[in-house]
Amino acid sequence: MQGIFFDIAALVYGPEGADFLSEVLRGEGIAAEPAEVAEALNHLPAELNGLRQTLRDEEQENEYNRLMLPALLTALGVKNPTDALIMRLVETVHQYSAWYSLYPETLPVLEELKNRGYKLAVVANWAPSLVRFLHEFELDTYFQAIVASGEVGLSKPDPYIFHQALKKLGLGEQDVLHVGPSINQDVTGALRAGLTPVWLNRTGIATGHEVVSITDLRGLLMLAPKAGEGAWN
């Protein structure tokens, strides 16, 4: 093995989707449970949902948030949200360190894998601001490729997003492990793309899936002793 891909959720933890927006709104004194936020998101105007599918850079992402948040607040029963409130929410959404934390083994494992000669990449179903997210946690320097679904227009488990990372690193499918916590997005996606999946099952509870699994990132150090000398070489 010459390369290792990671889903972002293998490296950091924090709220996602409706849970994330619920916490952001709560910080402004707006009480909205995740289920309520999810319901409101499902009833956003069709043009907003269509616009979301076209976001390809961070500027477009910010503009979408400036349009989406007033519609979300209105759906949640907040009357006449002010421009100042919307601007604060747009900024708060991108204050990643307030909402996410690194797993304790993330930095030591990335440092060791880098020293062992592996090419590393992040392949994630994420908005175009993924590079800024990684930069805020000082992770971006570890990765030779960072590929977000929002940037390329297709999400895992579609093989295309994995192949984009392979192209950036100049590696073949047989040369790469992909590590992530989702059976559907990460394991199935990696298999469809021809990569070797490693399921990050932090619960350690067996679920009957026949796939190589680890309970935290330190397990990679056993699977991949040195670039070119991994367990599948």
- Print the domain residue range for 120: 3-14+100-223
- List of E strands, the chain: 3-6, 12-13, 101-102, 119-124, 145-148, 176-180, 196-200, 213-214
Task: Tell me the C-alpha distance between 135 and 122, whole Å.
Answer: 12
Are both 124 and 212 inside the same structural domain?
yes
Looking at residue 231, its pLDDT comes to 57
Tell me: pLDDT of 54 over 90: no
Are both 10 and 107 inside the same structural domain?
yes
Whether residue 230 lies inside any domain: the answer is no
Query: What pTM does this model have?
Result: 0.89
Joined together, the tokens standing for residue 41 give: 């998101």
Q: Which residue has the higher pLDDT, 144 or 233?
A: 144
CA contacts within 13 A on the Cβ side of 126: 19
Are both 93 and 113 inside the same structural domain?
no
Tell me: pLDDT of 60 over 60: yes
Looking at residue 53, its pLDDT comes to 81
Whether residue 228 lies inside any domain: the answer is no
pLDDT band at 232; cut points 50, 70, 90: low
The predicted-structure confidence for 205-227, as pLDDT tens digits, reads as follows: 877 778 999 999 999 999 988 77
Mean pLDDT within 132-138: 94
The predicted-structure confidence for 33-48, as pLDDT tens digits, reads as follows: 999 999 999 989 989 8
Strand partners, 198: 179
Whether residue 233 lies inside any domain: the answer is no
